[in-house]
Amino acid sequence: MSSDRQWMYKRLTKGLYDPEFVRGVQLFIEFAMSHPEGRDVEKLRCPCNRKKCQNRNFENVHTVHGHLLKEGFVPGYHVWYLHGGNEVVRSIDQDERIPRDHTMNNLPVNVGAFDDPTPTTSYHRMVHEVAGPAFVLDDMEELPNPDAQNFYDMLDSANQEVWPGCETHSKVSAVSRLLHISTKHHLSDRCFDEICQYMSEMLPPDKVMPKNFYETKKLMRGMNMPVEIIHTCVKACMIYWGEDSELVNCKFCTHPRYKPTSQRSVSKKNFVPFKQMYYFPLTPRLQRLNASKATASHMRWHAEHEVEEGVMCHYSDAPAWKHFDKKHPSFLEESRNVRLGLSTDVFQPFGQTEKQYSSWPVIVRPYNLPPWMCMKDPYLFLSVIVPGPKNPKQQLDVFLQPLIAELKNLWNIGVNTYDISKKQNFKMRAALMWTISDFSAYSMLFGWSTVGRLACTYCMENSDAFTLTKGGKQSWFDNLHKFLPLNHPYRKDKSSFRKNRVVTMQSTPFWSGEDILKEIEELGLKKLTELGADIINRRISRFSGWKKRSIFWDLPYWSTNLIWHNLDVMHIEKDFFENVFNTVLDVDGKTKDNPKSREKLKEFCRQPELHAVDGKYPKLFTH
């Protein structure tokens, strides 16, 4: 009998049991019975290739013997380390491996399958990327933990035929295709169940397809991204999360958490919340970027690409990025640390129909990737879904608490991550560089009011805006000349802009994050997650443009950033174009040129040809 145990995978010879295999099975039984590590009293751990066994179940000696003769050994189990073997072989020479054909289920991989860790199909690769750092073949000398065992089960499903002889689809590929069709065409759960039942009637009896939608979700659960469903106050006062997770009434407005029910059971499973939000943890998705061969090497692109002087081809070439590097050199040392951006905007799932409902998705994107990747859909990570039906306005901070807490943890502690491109484990950290939004969401994120005379977030209290008494609107006409050089001719032009006005003042110095945070603390502004914050902030906002203390100031590095919030160019272009277009074409109800605005021209501008025509003849003056 060969010492390398090649007999283990030569079960049949011309349709009959190979004598060497039969002797080898008996030898294995005797070996396992003589080592207590591989048995439970009189039962042995069964290493057969049955899906339910594969070194997971304990059976009596007679059953194990029958299973091995009928099913053979689990692939790759040349060293019987689960039955008392002294050492673990982590790789088998190519000539010792079992030959593979082009079918999908010749070698289901499960516990003990150390021989070929390289994925062979796209679905193998998908499962390997899901496993990430939790699955490392090296030094696996103990029984798999639950996470690793889930990986083995998924890999086994990825390698399992839908029915014996099916060469087109594996179990995972077929189920993935069904789920894709269901999502694309908005199929209901009941419709999905009927499709599964119909397929079950058509396929051979020994098929392995799930019977319904529940079994399908159970199979794919290991590959899904984690999601947290968090109950919220119906008035958006708070979320039942963290220290407040056990409350049954809102601590701000005392509104009940759950809807009234007639059931007598006190189990929380029977309680239905008035409102709930969805939070998708960010850390697993950042880890998968490093666990996937398609993206792992690109996560260092920002630090390794060639920089052309005076040309900004990536965010890493911008002053804000370089400023952050200078402030946090320890973060710069690891090029795989992730720089993030956050954006949010209103989303109306029902479009312009009569049902008015708006939700606010919060999207996070990694900027480590090259410019042709970082703005693509696969790398825009949905993190928070703020429920409707109304705009949360300043209460948006309430729903951002889980995300901010995770960002703080990623900065202070980090997370162990496996980089498949370098075959290294490292401590991954992450930092939020800035946010991107339109002007209304700017106020919700920053905490400064973007309406009224103080709407400019650069000038703040030093704004030169004025109110048009006739129209009641704010005007920033001629407010930009203070940013021009002191010798610029526009500063002294008394006729082309505001009449009889010479601009001598200079623009307000740029406020640093430390200065803004200091002012917020001196004013006594509170976060909206604190009790009594609404009353205190409302009183302060009467004489200031501040509405609240933004939750982003909880990030340890936020005050050191060069910029915090960016305006979305798309919204600016759209609004500017619409205003100019509607004014030039004099679109009724949308033009900015109206009698009230014309009446104020006489007061501010020396443009008589644009003055309003009131229908009266000019006065006659005699000399």
Task: Report yes or no on 38 lying in a domain.
Answer: yes
Q: Is the pLDDT of residue 107 over 90?
A: no
Residue 530: which region, alpha, beta or left (left: phi > 0; alpha: psi -120 to 50)?
beta
Q: Which structural domain range is residue 23 located in?
A: 1-124+131-144
Residues 498 and 366 placed together within one structural domain of the fold:
no
Q: Residue 102 — very low, low, confident or very high, per pLDDT cuts 50/70/90?
A: very low
Q: Is the pLDDT of residue 209 over 90?
A: no
Residues 433 and 489 placed together within one structural domain of the fold:
no
pLDDT of residue 14: 78
pLDDT of residue 103: 35
Q: What contacts 24+ positions apart, CB below 8 Å, involve 372-380?
A: 373/295, 373/298, 374/315, 379/289
Q: List, for residues 333-361, the tens digit of each pLDDT value.
A: 999 999 999 999 988 887 766 678 889 99
pLDDT of residue 419: 85
Q: Is 281 exposed, middle or buried (0-12, 13-18, 19+ CB in 10 A)?
A: middle
What residues contact residue 234 under an 8 Å CB cut-off, 6+ apart? 255, 274, 275
How confident is the prediction for the chain on average, in pLDDT? 81
Task: Report yes or no on 168 lying in a domain.
Answer: no
**Nearest 5°: phi and psi at 266?**
-95, 5
Q: How many CB atoms lie within 10 A of CB 399?
A: 26
Q: Is 198 exposed, middle or buried (0-12, 13-18, 19+ CB in 10 A)?
A: exposed
Residues 473 and 395 placed together within one structural domain of the fold:
no
Q: Quick one: tokens of 520?
A: 């917020």
Q: Are 528 and 534 in contact (CB under 8 A)?
A: yes
Closest among 39, 77, 74 to 59, alpha carbons compared: 39
pLDDT of residue 130: 54
Q: Which amino acid is at 20?
A: E
Tell me the mean pLDDT in the region 252-257.
93
pLDDT of residue 145: 40
Task: Report yes or no on 194 lying in a domain.
Answer: no
Q: Are 280 and 382 in contact (CB under 8 A)?
A: yes
What residues contact residue 290 under an 8 Å CB cut-off, 6+ apart? 132, 296, 299, 336, 417, 418, 419, 420, 421, 428
Residues 494 and 375 placed together within one structural domain of the fold:
no
Choose one of 91, 112, 144: the last residue of a domain: 144
pLDDT of residue 256: 93
Tell me the mean pLDDT in the region 474-493.
86
Residues 477 and 416 placed together within one structural domain of the fold:
no
Domain count, the chain: 3
Separation of first and last alpha carbons in the chain: 132
What's the farthest any 2 CA atoms get from each other in the chain?
A: 134
Residues 69 and 101 placed together within one structural domain of the fold:
yes
Q: Is the pLDDT of residue 4 over 80?
A: no
Task: Report yes or no on 534 lying in a domain.
Answer: no
**Which of 45-54, 292-301, 352-361, 539-548 comes out lowest in average pLDDT?**
352-361
Q: How many CB atoms lie within 10 A of CB 612?
A: 14
Task: Report yes or no on 52 lying in a domain.
Answer: yes
Q: What is the pTM of this model?
A: 0.70
Task: Report yes or no on 264 lying in a domain.
Answer: no
**Which of 68-72, 234-238, 368-372, 468-472 comes out lowest in average pLDDT?**
468-472
Based on C-alpha coordinates, what's the Rg of the chain? 34
**Which of 192-196, 305-309, 362-366 comes out lowest in average pLDDT?**
305-309
Q: What is the DSSP letter of 258?
A: B
What residues contact residue 408 under an 8 Å CB cut-off, 6+ apart? 554, 555, 556
**Nearest 5°: phi and psi at 278?**
-120, 130
**Residue 474 pairs with which residues in a beta bridge?**
467
Q: Quick one: tokens of 106?
A: 């010749």
Q: Which amino acid is at 441?
A: A
pLDDT of residue 141: 36
What residues contact residue 412 under an 8 Å CB cut-off, 6+ apart? 556
pLDDT of residue 96: 34
| CA distance readout (Å), 210 to 149, 152, 217, 246 | 20, 18, 9, 37
Residues 345 and 424 placed together within one structural domain of the fold:
yes
Tell me the mean pLDDT in the region 3-21.
82
Q: Tell me what percent of the residues of the chain surpass a pLDDT of 70.
A: 83
Closest among 299, 279, 315, 569 to 434, alpha carbons compared: 315
Higher pLDDT, 181 or 149: 181
Reported as type and span, the H/E element at residue 519 is helix 513-523
Residues 409 and 470 placed together within one structural domain of the fold:
no
Choose one of 79, 112, 144: the last residue of a domain: 144
Residue 191: which region, alpha, beta or left (left: phi > 0; alpha: psi -120 to 50)?
alpha
pLDDT of residue 168: 81
Q: Residue 8 — very low, low, confident or very high, per pLDDT cuts 50/70/90?
A: confident
Q: List, for residues 49-101, the tens digit of each pLDDT value.
A: 887 888 888 888 999 999 999 888 988 787 787 787 754 333 333 333 333 33
pLDDT of residue 348: 84
pLDDT of residue 579: 87
Treating both helix axes as pointing N-terminal to C-terminal, what angle do 171-184 and 189-202 enclose, rounded to 10 degrees?
Answer: 140
Cα 482 to Cα 489: distance, rounded to the nearest angstrom: 12
**Residue 161 pairs with which residues in a beta bridge?**
170
Q: Angle at Cα 99 formed by Cα 98 and Cα 103, nearest 5°? A: 115
Tell me the mean pLDDT in the region 169-193.
87
Q: How many CB atoms lie within 10 A of CB 192?
A: 20
Q: Pairing between strand 58-60 and 228-232? A: unpaired
Residues 470 and 595 placed together within one structural domain of the fold:
yes
Q: List, for residues 392-417, the tens digit of each pLDDT value.
A: 989 999 999 999 999 999 999 998 88
Higher pLDDT, 408 or 458: 408
Q: Residue 363 — very low, low, confident or very high, per pLDDT cuts 50/70/90?
A: very high
Q: Is the pLDDT of residue 39 over 80?
A: no
Choose one of 387, 409, 443: the last residue of a domain: 443
Cα 18 to Cα 362: distance, rounded to the nearest angstrom: 63
Residues 468 and 606 placed together within one structural domain of the fold:
yes
Q: Is the pLDDT of residue 448 over 60?
A: yes
Task: Report yes or no on 151 lying in a domain.
Answer: no
What residues contact residue 444 under an 8 Å CB cut-off, 6+ apart? 344, 392, 393, 394, 396, 437
Residues 394 and 348 placed together within one structural domain of the fold:
yes
Q: Tell me what percent of the residues of the chain surpass a pLDDT of 90.
A: 29
Cα 48 to Cα 25: distance, rounded to the nearest angstrom: 11
Higher pLDDT, 243 or 82: 243
pLDDT of residue 518: 93
pLDDT of residue 138: 43
Task: Report yes or no on 547 lying in a domain.
Answer: no
Cα 464 to Cα 481: distance, rounded to the nearest angstrom: 11
Residues 424 and 483 placed together within one structural domain of the fold:
no
Please state the length of the chain: 623
| CA distance readout (Å), 232 to 174, 229, 272, 595 | 38, 10, 12, 48
Q: List, for residues 116-162, the tens digit of each pLDDT value.
A: 444 455 555 555 555 554 444 443 334 444 444 555 466 565 667 78
Q: Quick one: tokens of 556?
A: 């340890």
